[in-house]
Structure 1
Amino acid sequence: MSMGVSRPLTGVLLALSLAVTACGGDGRESEPSAGTGCVTDFDAARDYFPVKQTIRHATNFTLTYAKNYQVVTVKQPSPGAKSETYVLVRCGTPAPELTGPLSGAVTVQTPVRTMFAGSTTHLPFITDLGVLDRLKGVGTAGLVTSPQVRERVTAGAITEYADITGQEIDTEKVIGARPDVLMTDGREVGSYGTLRKAGVRIVANAEWQETTALGRAEWIKFVAALTGTEAKATEVFDGVAARYRSLAAKAKTAEPVTVLPGQMFQGQWAIPNGDSFMAKLLKEAGGTYAWADTEGTGSATFDLEAVLARARDAEIWLPQVSEWKTLADVRKADSRYAEFAAFRSGKVWGINKALGPGGGNDFYERGVGHPDLILADLVAVLHPDLMPGHSFTFYQQLTR
Structure 2
Amino acid sequence: MRVRAASPKVLVSLVAAGVVLTACSTATTAPEMDTTADGCITDFDATVDYFPDKSEIVDAENFSITYENSYQVLTVEEPFPGGSPESYVLVKCGAPAPELSAELADAQQITVPISSLYSGSTTHLPLVTELDVLDVLTGVSNGSMVSDTAVVDRIAAGDVTEYASGGTIDTEAVVVAAPDVVMTGGMDDPAYTQLREAGIGVVANAEWLESSPLGRAEWIKVMAALTGTQARAEEVYDGIRSDYLEVADKAAGAEPAPALLGGMSQGTWYMSSGGSYMGRLFSDAGATWPWQDVTSTGSLPLDFEAVIAESSDAPTWLVVNSWTSIGDALADDERYGELAAVGTGQVWNANKALGPGGGNDYYERGVLRPDLVLSDLVAILHPELLPDHKFTFYQQLPA
Runs of 4+ aligned residues of structure 1 deviating over 4 Å after TM superposition are none
Counterpart residue number, 1:78: 80
Partners of 1:137 and 1:161 within 8 A in 2: yes
Partners of 1:221 and 1:233 within 8 A in 2: yes
Q: Letter of the aligned partner of 1:208 in structure 2?
A: W
Counterpart residue number, 2:370: 371
Counterpart residue number, 2:132: 130
- Residue by residue over 1:39-94, the C-alpha shift from the partner in whole angstroms, topping out at 9 and shown as x without a partner, is 01000110011111100000000111111111111000111111110011111112
Instruction: State the 1:220 CA deviation.
Output: 0.3
CA 1:377–1:123 in structure 2 vs 1: closer, same or farther (change >3 Å)? Answer: same
Q: Letter of the aligned partner of 2:354 in structure 1?
A: L
Partners of 1:143 and 1:359 within 8 A in 2: yes
Instruction: State the 1:114 CA deviation.
Output: 1.0
- Residue by residue over 1:179-202, the C-alpha shift from the partner in whole angstroms, topping out at 9 and shown as x without a partner, is 111111121112222212211110
Q: For 2:88 and 2:313, how far apart are their aligned partners in 1? A: 50
Counterpart residue number, 2:390: 391
Instruction: State the 1:296 CA deviation.
Output: 1.4
Counterpart residue number, 1:213: 213
Counterpart residue number, 1:57: 59
Q: TM-score, normalised by structure 1?
A: 0.89
Give the SS at the match of 1:244: helix
Q: For 1:352 and 1:274, how far apart are their aligned partners in 2? A: 23
Counterpart residue number, 1:149: 151
After TM superposition, list the pairs within 5 Å mapping 1:16-55 onto structure 2. Answer: 35-55=37-57
Counterpart residue number, 1:357: 356
Give the SS at the match of 1:385: coil
- Residue by residue over 1:83-135, the C-alpha shift from the partner in whole angstroms, topping out at 9 and shown as x without a partner, is 11001111111222343221321111101111111100000001100000111
Partners of 2:143 and 2:165 within 8 A in 1: no
Counterpart residue number, 2:230: 230
Instruction: State the 1:224 CA deviation.
Output: 0.1
Unaligned runs of 5+ in 1: 1-32
Counterpart residue number, 1:177: 177
- Residue by residue over 1:297-338, the C-alpha shift from the partner in whole angstroms, topping out at 9 and shown as x without a partner, is 1111011111101111112111121x2011110100001011
After TM superposition, list the pairs within 5 Å mapping 1:301-380 onto structure 2. Answer: 301-321=301-321, 323-380=322-379
CA 1:34–1:140 in structure 2 vs 1: closer, same or farther (change >3 Å)? Answer: farther
Partners of 2:112 and 2:227 within 8 A in 1: yes
Instruction: State the 1:398 CA deviation.
Output: 0.6
Q: For 1:381 and 1:246, how far apart are their aligned partners in 2? A: 17
Q: For 1:158 and 1:35, how far apart are their aligned partners in 2? A: 25
Partners of 1:182 and 1:203 within 8 A in 2: yes
Unaligned runs of 5+ in 2: 1-34
Instruction: State the 1:164 CA deviation.
Output: 4.6
Instruction: State the 1:35 CA deviation.
Output: 4.5
- Residue by residue over 1:345-376, the C-alpha shift from the partner in whole angstroms, topping out at 9 and shown as x without a partner, is 11100011001111100000000111111011
Paired residues, number: 366
Partners of 1:98 and 1:104 within 8 A in 2: no
Partners of 1:69 and 1:89 within 8 A in 2: yes
Give the SS at the match of 1:378: helix
> RMSD in angstroms over aligned alpha carbons?
1.4
- Higher helix residue share: 1
- Greater CA drift, 94-103 or 358-367: 94-103
Counterpart residue number, 2:120: 118
The answer to whether the aligner puts 1:107 opposite 2:109 as a matched pair is: yes
Counterpart residue number, 2:22: none
